[in-house]
Every structure is written in structure tokens, then in C-alpha cells.
Amino acid sequence: MPFWRRLFRMRRLVPGAFPPGRLPLHVAIIMDGNGRWARRRGMPRSAGHRAGVERIEDVLRAAVDCGVKYLTLFAFSTENWRRSPEEVAYLMQLLAETLTERAERLRAQGVALRFIGRRDRLPPDLVAKMAAVEAMAPAEQKVTLTIAIDYGSRDEILRAARSIAEAAKEGRLAPEELTEEVFSDYLYTRGLPDPDLIIRTSGEQRISNFLLWQGAYAEYWFTPVLWPDFTAAEFIRALQEYARRERRFGRA
């Protein structure tokens, strides 16, 4: 089905779908299932990864149309280095190509790009592209798209703890000054609101070391749909399910 027709069908789902205050400000997605999608079609895993990249723009447009202000995507985890060198190299190349081809178009559409995770193990040319893209502020910002690459939440929390210990050792931070807000400022996600909704595709029901601190009070939505098949309409369904839930944050 052509994208314009899918988009028209999606727009019909949006009006009146979200009561006031029931739309998540920040949605994070664990994009899972690229390899299985390719295997079921007798294709190499690389084909699944490329199909997954194509899916991102559909979901991003849906987020903008619905009014979601922050979208965070889990692209490559600290554990993904265990995959074959060929697959890792392809993923790094694919991300670099995608930034080169689409960063300017995204900026023109009001998308601010941000990256979280370690950068010391990434290819230097990719790190340079990431920094250049982050500096490309859109004239009218509609959404912040954060890509988590070489990201692991335990690693993030451990690094934050080390930085806090150094600050305390040097006398820059007293123990009684350490609050949740101060701790959050030492995380990669500094300046981002915590996710309201975390989506995982492919049927797996675990969080896989993703936003452990930030997602403490997030709502979770799991779908059996593989990421390359995750449509804008599926994204809307996740938002509608979120809108039906009652968030108490510990209150009775």
C-alpha cells in the first residue's frame, strides 16, 4: 500500500483518540525482530536491518502527527557487540549511510537528532557524523529523535556512579546533595524527560537493559509484530492503549 494511503488511514485514527493529558510526551521503542523478519523470507539479516531503517520514518511521522515530542529508539546495545563482526560492521555502515542520506531531510521536517550511549568504541567517522547531525538544529523543532547506540543501561548507571564518586572525591558534590534529579544529570539522557511509554516489538517481553532508571514508572506495551512490519497504525494502537491506562505513581 502506498505510504500516502497508509498515512490517510492512520490520520483517521488520530482525531479524538486521546483524551486531554492522555498522550505520552516521550515514547521509547525497543526495535526487535529484524533478523527473524529476514529469516522468514529467506533473506540475509542485513535485509532485515535495512527494512527496519525504512520503518523508522513512518513511525516518526506518526509521532509528529500525534504530538509526541520525544521518540527514543534502541538501535544497538552494548551486548550487540557479541554478534558476528560482519553484522556489526554492516550495522555501523548502515547507520552512517542513513545519517548521510536523511539527516538534512529530517532537520527540514523539524526533527532534532540526538544520540545516547558510548562513543569510544564506535568507528571515528560515524562518531563525527553523529556530532555533526546533533549540531543541525531545526528551525522549528517538532520532535526530538534520540538514537541509543552502543547503549546499555547498567553501563550507563555504572558510569554515572563513577562520575559521582569522582565529584565527591574532589569535593564538588557532597553526599547530602545527591538527589534523584542530580543523579539523572549524570546519565546519557540528561535533559530528556523520562519515557511515559516503552514499546517492544517481536513478541519478546523483557526490557533488555534499556532505560532501567528512566523507565521506572513507564507504561510498557508489547506486540508480536516484528519491527520491519510495525506500521504507523500499530504505533497509534500503542498510544491508544496507553491513553486507557491509569497512571498512579504509587498513589492509591
Check 32, 58, 150, 196 and give the catalytic one: 32
| Residue among 34, 58, 65, 80 flagged as catalytic | 80
32 is an active site residue: yes
Q: Which residues of 146-159 are buried (b: 16+ CB within 10 A; e: fewer)?
A: bbbbbbbbebbeee
Sheet strands side by side (includes 197-200):
111-116, 143-151, 70-77, 26-30, 197-200, 219-222
Please say if 34 is a catalytic residue: no
Catalytic residues: 32, 80
